[in-house]
């Protein structure tokens, strides 16, 4: 056994060295060279673009646009030429990487147009070309036509006219948000158009599509925003965003910043920005933080970056324009500031952060590329292409800007690695110490610690077991990104702990159990016990894998810690100390890890306090705003997925938390590690304090991080793919070398406390409920102890293997579905225990049938939820399952008569005694 464990340890250390650091990106956008240029010597401004597909065949399209094809476009009489040409470029795989060169299509646009809007419809494999304009006689023609472009089986393109816009517009921008296309403002024949519209494309039949006008934003209360053209739109987290733009000058308009009056072009340039949230009552607009300066004609759509950023690329910047005009003679430009030697438009990349409502500059478009304006943007999953466009007045480019959002990972460093390894080896040392003192020499020692664990250690262990590393990172991320509403989810513990202490604990202690499911056999029958125990074990096999995978994924997303190395280090070392030391090693390491977690969170909190303007007052001021603290509606009983009902939060979390404290072996096992009922009760009372105060610390840390990055948005990484990574990102960015290692070790520790609990409790359930009860009831204690250790090793290896498989094969969605299915089976357990304790006339048959009905009910509810038939908040599934199981158990108990074991209910003598 010891040789085997030493071998595992050597493998882990070798993986640490062999894993090596990842290559880190220096900026959020990686500009990729060599993207094919259009086969046109001039290029086009104001073109249309998008991706069409049929099966695995995908093409990037570019169509229309306008240019000045004359050799010298700066002569006064040179006209602008509008086009109907269409080009296509075959794409590789599912991204935007090219597979060949651009081809000019035989098909053309139904009419010559430019300066319209484009939207790709991935579900239909088509693109919409919306509005636009062209010169006509001495004036211009503005279109309200909308064309859907599809790819025929023959490979040719088909243009179908669909619902016309209510108003003809050009210089506009459009976005797809869920199943609606949104168009905001634009320039009509008589000037800027004050209007915004949505097109519902839910129907497969495009002839059913109709435009609807949506509300118009207000610049301030009672004052409408200015209509505009050449603005940028984007979508993020279910909202439509509008940034900047320009319009013909209106003298003395207070809605225009004094620095944004553009006398060069005769326009008012805009820096105001707005967010639209769709809703049942037509939706609502909100003015958001202004751009740092006015931007117009930037590439038409903002690029999504990471979890919560939108990037604006370049554009017309008035300050830069004025600087060029002041040096036009020096540069060699004409009186209008035009010429071949023009340096081009702004290269700035501006990032809007939707959480903190802030702007920051995040690099520039490299000098070796031309920075186009009035260009379409096609983006997909962090990959984007800016197609053609105008790189200086009257000059176009046929080139493409191809960029990809790439993460800026911090190097973890040797010192931090040393700290983490020393910490993790310390956990192994604890297991070795308990093994040396023969604290795990029998199954009673291995599973119950000989009932000599101090009450405060057991309390800390319960807290650490339920607080996984996922929670350690996710809770601060919740309050950072939104508010403290889910802190209400901790409040039910104020009811659950007294309920457990006075109603459940007397049975767990009085029956002198090792497995929680021994009670179910005593109260009902063996089949109930075995099914409940099996459900628990299968669930925790999946849980071990996901608890290993998710924190490793979060850490690898913001540091150069390889995900496989993180999984193996957490998992193998955890298996080692669990095998050696049994439950005593588990609870003592849990207690240490709980202290490390809370200490790390407090340390980070105070570091933020000392580094924000206003210190602690800035954080309390933020919490004084309802939207950043608790904004629940206690007068509502809404059960929908968008509920803000305080009661639904409370009861949803009550029934989500109840199974852990009343029917889950990993927690119940802690109740029997102490010396008496009184000591076990104390451990639970301690857990109330730890849960309420500890969770408040984590929520406060998230609020502190929000304040920190609101004051310093330039320190954010736009490429961060999940807000769950904000805490490790802050740690790696701001904590000194070594200290960061301690906190990251805390993240590892949180995962280990959960995994070690699952390993030991599953071993306890298997040995007690199956091996010792069914398979080999005559086996010796020594045999059972060996089986337990082997179960820990096998289960640990299985969990590590599944976690690595999930990380390597990108099957997390299927894995989540598996865990959801197992959750349906595990769900009724709390109600089955409650039936046993609180209802006299329920036997084994009634209990099993009730559990089956509870499982079916929540499975049916989920099916109808997914199908859109009903809208019930998924957190309420536990409440539905409990109620259905409990009520049906009471009814079935009247039908299926059985022996009444009143002494195993709260109505009997044992229900009021313990030990």
CB 838 within 8 A of CB 503: yes
Band of pLDDT at residue 12, cut at 50, 70 and 90? very low
Query: Are 29-405 and 409-912 the same fold in CATH?
Result: no
% of residues, the chain, pLDDT over 70: 93
Residues 508 and 498: their CA atoms lie apart, in Å, by 15
Residues 696 and 487: their CA atoms lie apart, in Å, by 7
Band of pLDDT at residue 20, cut at 50, 70 and 90? very low
Band of pLDDT at residue 21, cut at 50, 70 and 90? very low
- The tens digit of pLDDT for each residue in 83-139 reads 999 999 999 988 899 999 999 999 999 999 999 999 999 999 999 999 999 998 878
* Averaged pLDDT for residues 625-633: 87
Residues 915 and 910: their CA atoms lie apart, in Å, by 10
- The tens digit of pLDDT for each residue in 850-883 reads 999 999 999 899 889 888 899 998 888 889 999 9
Which residues make Cβ contacts (< 8 Å) with residue 744, sequence separation at least 6?
A: 412, 416, 420, 555, 559, 561, 728, 731, 732
Residue 22 confidence (pLDDT): 35
Residue 9 confidence (pLDDT): 43
Residues 339 and 214: their CA atoms lie apart, in Å, by 42
Domain residue ranges of the chain, discontinuous segments joined by +: 29-405, 409-912
* Averaged pLDDT for residues 343-360: 96
Residue 551 confidence (pLDDT): 78
Residue 8 confidence (pLDDT): 43
Residue 634 confidence (pLDDT): 93
- The tens digit of pLDDT for each residue in 706-763 reads 999 999 999 999 988 888 888 888 888 888 888 888 877 777 777 877 888 889 999 9
State the DSSP string of 93-126: TTSS-BSS--EE-S---SS--BS-EEEEETTTTE
Residue 308 confidence (pLDDT): 94
Band of pLDDT at residue 437, cut at 50, 70 and 90? low
* Averaged pLDDT for residues 620-646: 90
Band of pLDDT at residue 438, cut at 50, 70 and 90? low
Selected residue with higher pLDDT from 300 and 748: 300
Residue 174 has pLDDT above 80, yes or no: yes
- The tens digit of pLDDT for each residue in 482-507 reads 999 999 999 999 999 999 999 999 99
Pair of tokens at residue 264:
């060069």
Query: What backbone phi and psi angles, to 5 degrees, belong to 174?
Result: -140, 155
Q: Ranked by mean pLDDT, which of 178-192, 314-328, 418-432 comes out on top? A: 178-192
Residue 548 has pLDDT above 90, yes or no: no
Which residues make Cβ contacts (< 8 Å) with residue 288, sequence separation at least 6?
A: 241, 273, 274, 275, 352, 357
CB 233 within 8 A of CB 182: yes
What length does the chain have? 915
* Residue bearing tokens 């800027």: 192
Residue 6 confidence (pLDDT): 47
Which residues make Cβ contacts (< 8 Å) with residue 302, sequence separation at least 6?
A: 232, 233, 234, 241, 243, 310, 311, 312, 352
Which residues make Cβ contacts (< 8 Å) with residue 417, sequence separation at least 6?
A: 16, 741
CB 830 within 8 A of CB 513: no
Query: What backbone phi and psi angles, to 5 degrees, belong to 137?
Result: 65, -130
CB 159 within 8 A of CB 110: yes
Residue 114 confidence (pLDDT): 97
Which residues make Cβ contacts (< 8 Å) with residue 502, sequence separation at least 6?
A: none
CB 28 within 8 A of CB 717: yes
| CATH architecture of the region 29-405 | 6 Propeller (2.120)
| Range in 354-363, 624-633, 678-687 the model is least confident about | 624-633
Element (H, E) at 539: helix 526-558
Residue 434 confidence (pLDDT): 73
Nearest CA to 649 out of 482, 776, 519 is that of: 482
Residue 25 confidence (pLDDT): 40
Beta bridge partners of 197: 183, 213
Band of pLDDT at residue 397, cut at 50, 70 and 90? very high
Handedness of CA 520, 522, 525, 530 (dihedral sign): positive
Residue 812 confidence (pLDDT): 54
Residues 855 and 888: their CA atoms lie apart, in Å, by 12
Domain 409-912 belongs to what topology?
Answer: Sodium/glucose cotransporter (1.20.1730)
* Averaged pLDDT for residues 364-389: 92
Handedness of CA 243, 115, 48, 166 (dihedral sign): positive
State the DSSP string of 821-880: HHHHHHTTHHHHHHHHHH-SS--HHHHHHHHHHHHHHHHHHHHHHHHTS----GGGHHHH
Band of pLDDT at residue 573, cut at 50, 70 and 90? confident
* Averaged pLDDT for residues 44-60: 96
Pair of tokens at residue 411:
């190097």
Nearest CA to 410 out of 718, 722, 732, 717 is that of: 732
* Average confidence score pLDDT of the chain: 88
What's the first-to-final CA gap in the chain, in angstroms?
A: 36
Residues 482 and 630: their CA atoms lie apart, in Å, by 10
Residues 540 and 822: their CA atoms lie apart, in Å, by 9
Element (H, E) at 436: helix 414-436
């Amino acid at each position: 056994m010891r040789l085997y464990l030493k071998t595992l340890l050597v493998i882990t250390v070798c993986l640490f060295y062999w894993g090596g650091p990842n290559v880190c990106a220096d900026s959020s956008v990686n500009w990729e060279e060599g993207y094919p240029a259009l086969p046109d010597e001039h290029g086009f401004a104001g073109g249309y673009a998008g991706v069409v597909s049929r099966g695995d065949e995908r093409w990037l399209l570019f169509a229309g646009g306008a240019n000045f094809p004359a050799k010298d476009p700066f002569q006064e009489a040179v006209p602008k030429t509008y086009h109907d040409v269409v080009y296509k470029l075959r794409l590789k795989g599912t991204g935007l990487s090219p597979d060949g060169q651009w081809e000019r299509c035989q098909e053309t646009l139904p009419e010559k147009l430019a300066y319209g809007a484009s939207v790709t419809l991935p579900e239909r494999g088509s693109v919409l070309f919306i509005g636009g304009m062209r010169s006509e006689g001495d004036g211009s023609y503005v279109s309200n036509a909308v064309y859907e472009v599809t790819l025929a089986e023959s490979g040719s393109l088909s243009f179908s006219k669909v619902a016309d816009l209510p108003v003809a517009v050009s210089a506009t921008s459009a976005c797809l948000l869920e199943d609606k296309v949104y168009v905001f403002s634009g320039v009509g024949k008589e000037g800027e158009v004050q209007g915004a519209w949505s097109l519902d494309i839910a129907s497969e039949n495009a002839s059913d599509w109709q435009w609807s006008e949506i509300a118009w934003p207000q610049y301030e209360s009672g004052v409408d925003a200015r209509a505009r053209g050449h603005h940028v739109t984007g979508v993020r987290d279910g909202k439509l965003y509008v940034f900047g733009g320009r319009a013909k000058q209106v003298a003395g308009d207070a809605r225009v910043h004094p620095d944004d009056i553009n006398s060069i072009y005769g326009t008012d340039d805009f820096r105001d920005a707005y967010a639209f949230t769709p809703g049942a009552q037509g939706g609502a607009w909100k003015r958001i933080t202004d751009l740092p300066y006015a931007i117009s004609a930037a590439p038409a759509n903002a690029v999504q970056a990471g979890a919560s950023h939108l990037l604006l690329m370049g554009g017309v910047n008035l300050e830069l324009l004025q600087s060029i005009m002041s040096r036009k003679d020096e540069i060699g430009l004409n009186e209008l500031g035009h010429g071949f030697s023009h340096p081009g438009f702004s290269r700035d990349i501006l990032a809007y952060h939707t959480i903190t409502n802030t702007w920051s500059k995040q690099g520039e478009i490299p000098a070796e590329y031309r920075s186009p304006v009035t260009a379409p943007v096609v983006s997909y999953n962090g990959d984007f292409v800016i197609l053609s466009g105008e790189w200086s007045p009257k000059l176009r480019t046929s080139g493409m800007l191809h960029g990809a959002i790439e993460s800026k990972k911090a190097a973890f460093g040797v010192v931090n690695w040393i700290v983490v390894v020393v910490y993790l080896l310390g956990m192994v040392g604890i297991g070795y110490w308990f093994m040396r003192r023969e604290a795990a020499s029998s199954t009673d020692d291995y599973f119950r610690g000989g009932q000599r664990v101090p009450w405060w250690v057991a309390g800390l262990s319960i807290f650490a077991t339920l607080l996984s590393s996922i929670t350690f990172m996710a809770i601060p991320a919740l309050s950072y990104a939104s508010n403290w509403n889910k802190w209400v989810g901790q409040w039910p513990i104020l009811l659950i702990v007294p309920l457990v202490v006075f109603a459940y604990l007397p049975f767990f202690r009085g029956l002198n159990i090792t497995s929680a499911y021994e009670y179910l056999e005593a109260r009902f029958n063996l089949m109930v016990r075995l099914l409940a125990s099996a459900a628990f074990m299968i669930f925790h096999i999946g849980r071990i894998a996901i608890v290993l995978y998710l924190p490793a994924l979060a850490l690898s997303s913001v540091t150069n810690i390889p995900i496989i190395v993180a999984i193996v280090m957490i998992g193998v070392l955890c298996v080692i100390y669990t095998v050696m030391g049994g439950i005593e090693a588990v609870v003592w390491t849990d207690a240490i890890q709980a202290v490390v977690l809370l200490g790390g969170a407090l340390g980070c909190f105070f570091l933020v306090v000392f580094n924000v303007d206003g210190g602690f007052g800035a954080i309390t001021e933020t919490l004084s705003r309802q939207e950043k603290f608790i904004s629940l509606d206690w007068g509502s009983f809404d059960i929908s997925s968008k509920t803000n009902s305080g009661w639904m939060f409370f009861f949803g979390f009550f029934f989500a938390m109840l199974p852990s404290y009343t029917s889950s072996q990993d927690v119940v096992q802690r109740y029997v590690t102490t010396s008496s009922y009184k000591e076990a009760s104390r451990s639970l009372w301690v857990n109330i304090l730890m849960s309420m105060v500890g969770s408040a610390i984590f929520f406060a840390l998230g609020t502190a991080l929000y304040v920190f990055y609101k004051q310093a948005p330039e320190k954010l990484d736009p490429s961060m793919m999940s807000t769950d990574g904000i805490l490790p990102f802050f740690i790696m960015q701001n904590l000194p070398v070594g200290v960061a290692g301690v906190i990251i070790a805390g993240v590892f520790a949180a995962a280990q406390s959960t995994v070690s609990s699952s390993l030991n409790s599953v071993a306890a359930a298997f040995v007690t409920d199956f091996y010792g009860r069914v398979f080999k009831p005559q086996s010796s204690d020594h045999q059972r102890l060996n089986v337990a250790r082997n179960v820990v090793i096998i289960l640990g290896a299985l969990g590590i293997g599944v976690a690595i498989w999930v990380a390597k094969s990108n099957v997390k969605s299927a894995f989540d579905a598996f865990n959801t299915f197992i959750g349906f089976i595990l769900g009724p357990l709390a109600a089955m225990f409650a039936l046993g304790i609180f209802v006299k006339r329920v036997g084994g048959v009634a209990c099993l049938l009730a559990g089956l009905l509870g499982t079916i009910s929540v499975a049916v509810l989920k099916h109808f939820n997914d199908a859109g038939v009903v809208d019930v908040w998924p957190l309420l599934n536990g409440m539905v399952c409990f109620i259905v199981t409990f009520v049906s158990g009471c009814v079935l108990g009247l039908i299926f008569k059985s022996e009444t074991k009143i002494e195993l209910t709260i109505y009997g003598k044992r229900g009021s005694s313990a030990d």
